[in-house]
Chain A
Amino acid sequence: MQETLDRLIREVLHEDPQVWAGSWVVYAAALLAVGFGLTVFGALVAGLTSWWERRIAARMQSRIGPNRVGPQGTLQFLADALKLIVKEDLVPPESDQMLFRIAPYFVMTGFALTFVVLPFGYHLSATRMNVGLFYLIAVTALVVVGIMLSGWASNSKWALFGGMRAAAQVVSYEIPGGMLALVPILMAGSLDLHEIIRAQGGFPWDWFVFQTPWGFIAFFLFFATQLAEGNRTPFDLPEAESELVAGYMTEYSGIRFGYYFLAEWGNLWVMSAVISTLFLGGWQVPFVSAETLAGWEAAGTVPVAFYGVSTAVFVTKVVVLMNVIIWVRWTLPRIRVDQMMSVCWKYLVPIGMGLVLLAALTEVLSFQLFGDAAKGPAPLGTPRGALHLAFFAVAGAVPTVLFFRKIFRNIRLTGDRIDLTNW
């Protein structure tokens, strides 16, 4: 970030910050500003997602959903937040007072720290770390510390159950999660999130998910592990409402309760951003090939519009993925604790291992076959590009068509009809 800032100052102010006396003040102020902006962004995203999830869930359940506060209910989350802030912050007298109070901040910190490396668009991220993905996996583990603390400190059996379940679940699913993340890492050859994106292309067949069958399977399994780490249905055991009342946050109230929800909905963005970075081409814009981009960069003439367009592409992908996560939540039942473990250790881990091996083999084979052309997105004319397109047609296009046909069949079967008048 320091370099970007230096370059910005040199280009805009035509001065060299290196010779300033108190340049660290500028850096610190910029750091604070970016940190503040990202946290606010996270909170806003979490709030808007909470409203959007409720609307979508309502639609899927043949209801209307919150539509009173603000236009179409968009300000509902502000009303909810206000209510939570005004509410009494109850601390059970028999709880471990200090741990009980700080536990939500662990969760919040773990959530906010992920924004340090998350990309938002071309060249847009707080920092560019060459071990970005590694960092991401490391800081998300902080969330589970907060959850365990709250489970323990509440001195409630329900909360304890929730905390222990969360610990078991998140720690277990880190393993297949990390393993499945290896598949795109192998394909990209980097841990840097921006490098992983740049190894893919703008068109769907250039994405890692549609390049090889291994990437395709790994995408879905990685999606599942992300659901598990974000405590979303069907892996929402730590807060399973019908079993554990509210799991680890049973005893919380007021804004401390709100922090958990903020982190949970904000995590939707984090999960979706990670998945779209690893598998769905991130901010890659169609029709802007890697060569064009490299040409712009070499000449120093990256158009400003490209920053905007790439951000829009990325945000669109993230929002679509968030909707998919919401959609899964309102469809599937919850699995049991022992099933959660068996899914992890009997299915995800061995399959993930196999996928990593297969992906590595494919990379080696690909280098043998195509040489240097095996890296990065392939143009359609090349044999590798044709292969990717064929796989995309089989794995991407056909299921989409089938999906929509099935949906209209479902509507017809119940004697209903398409009606969007009340949206």
Chain B
Amino acid sequence: MPVSQYLANIKDTVQSAWEGMTVTFSYLFRRPMTVQYAGPEKAREKHELVQDTLPSRYRGFLEVDLAICTACNACERACPINVIAIEIEKDPANPKLRVMTRFDIDEGKCMFCGLCVEPCPTGSIQHTREFEGTQRTLSNMVLRFVDPAKPAPPYKVAKGATAFPRAVLGSITRPLVKAWDSPPPPLPIESAEEAMAHAAKKAH
């Protein structure tokens, strides 16, 4: 190694280390990029704040406004991983009408792709800006939008309607998200025949 190269090595090392060290030192005088996230003790009150920073297109938990749901099953068909389960039965009170007895979304399985939102004719199913729903039990992640005691009738779209009266985004999903340590729902105990019938019905 020639002497000039030897000296150049030393000079380059010193100079570049100097350059780099001035860069890192200068960050001591700047405001950090990260922000203090609220701790567990403040999670509730700061929760709203974090959500406000999210863009309106944020794809958080799904929400269905059953008041304007037409029960068209488009979202169930669009979902690539069968996260949405809809069951429509005849209304026992008025056999000519149909009612939704089940509209479940398994947020634990959802990949938040947004494919179900696009085919919805009324904008009933939407992504909210909710994202905090840690659960001790995975089955608690299933959001049940229909109360089995009160089946929901489908929404009739008025001719030529372009806007639909949708509830405030998030107001339906937020109460459905359970506390993180809430007990799991009871397992549905069904007989083998019932299960078979269920599966056959699904297959159709």
Would A and B touch once assembled, by the CB under 8 A criterion? yes
- A residues near B, CB below 8 A? 56, 58-64, 67-68, 327-328, 330-332, 347, 403, 406-408, 410-411, 416-422
Report whether B29 and A407 are in contact in the complex, using a CB–CB cutoff of 8 Å: yes
Identify 25 residue pairs between A and B in the complex whose beta-carbon atoms are under 8 Å apart, listed by A's number. A56-B28, A59-B27, A59-B28, A60-B24, A60-B25, A60-B27, A62-B34, A63-B33, A64-B32, A64-B34, A328-B21, A330-B24, A331-B20, A331-B21, A331-B24, A347-B10, A403-B25, A406-B22, A407-B22, A408-B26, A418-B29, A418-B30, A419-B30, A419-B31, A422-B32
Dominant secondary structure of chain B at its interface with chain A: helix
Query: Which of chain B's residues have a CB closer than 8 A to the CB of A418?
Result: 29-30
A332 touches which of B20, B22, B31 (Cβ 8 Å): B20
Report whether A62 and B32 are in contact in the complex, using a CB–CB cutoff of 8 Å: yes
How near does chain A come to B25, taking the closest CB pair, in angstroms? 6
Query: Which of chain B's residues have a CB closer than 8 A to the CB of A328?
Result: 21
Report whether A64 and B36 are in contact in the complex, using a CB–CB cutoff of 8 Å: yes
With A328-B21, A332-B17 as known contacts, state yes or no: A60 contacts B36, CB within 8 Å.
no
- Nearest B-chain residue to A420, judged by Cβ: B29
Query: Which of chain B's residues have a CB closer than 8 A to the CB of A331?
Result: 17, 20-21, 23-24
How near does chain A come to B90, taking the closest CB pair, in angstroms? 57
How near does chain B come to A192, taking the closest CB pair, in angstroms? 33
Report whether A421 and B23 are in contact in the complex, using a CB–CB cutoff of 8 Å: no
Report whether A327 and B34 are in contact in the complex, using a CB–CB cutoff of 8 Å: no
CA distance A347 to B5 in the complex (A): 12
With A68-B39, A347-B10 as known contacts, state yes or no: A327 contacts B31, CB within 8 Å.
no
Report whether B32 and A411 are in contact in the complex, using a CB–CB cutoff of 8 Å: no
CA distance A408 to B29 in the complex (A): 9
CB neighbors of A among B119-134 (8 A): none
Query: Which of chain B's residues have a CB closer than 8 A to the CB of A411?
Result: 26, 29-30
Report whether B22 and A403 are in contact in the complex, using a CB–CB cutoff of 8 Å: yes
Query: Which of chain A's residues have a CB closer than 8 A to the CB of B30?
Result: 62, 411, 416-419
CA distance A67 to B34 in the complex (A): 13
B26 touches which of A67, A407, A420 (Cβ 8 Å): A407
How near does chain B come to A64, taking the closest CB pair, in angstroms? 5
CA distance A417 to B17 in the complex (A): 23
CA distance A59 to B29 in the complex (A): 9
Q: Which of B28, B33, B39 has the most CB of A within 10 A?
A: B28
Report whether A419 and B17 are in contact in the complex, using a CB–CB cutoff of 8 Å: no
How near does chain B come to A352, taking the closest CB pair, in angstroms? 14
Beyond A332-B17, A407-B26, A422-B31, 14 additional contacts (C-beta under 8 Å) are A59-B28, A63-B34, A327-B24, A328-B21, A331-B17, A331-B21, A406-B22, A407-B22, A408-B26, A411-B26, A411-B30, A416-B30, A419-B30, A422-B32
Query: Which of chain A's residues have a CB closer than 8 A to the CB of B39?
Result: 68
Report whether B10 and A327 are in contact in the complex, using a CB–CB cutoff of 8 Å: no
Report whether B20 and A63 are in contact in the complex, using a CB–CB cutoff of 8 Å: no
Q: Which of A56, A67, A411 has the most CB of B within 10 A?
A: A411
- Nearest A-chain residue to B30, judged by Cβ: A416
Query: Which of chain A's residues have a CB closer than 8 A to the CB of B28?
Result: 56, 59-60
How near does chain A come to B191, taking the closest CB pair, in angstroms? 47
Q: Which of B23, B24, B28, B36 has the most CB of A within 10 A?
A: B24
CA distance A331 to B23 in the complex (A): 9
CA distance A327 to B24 in the complex (A): 8
Query: Which of chain B's residues have a CB closer than 8 A to the CB of A60?
Result: 24-25, 27-28
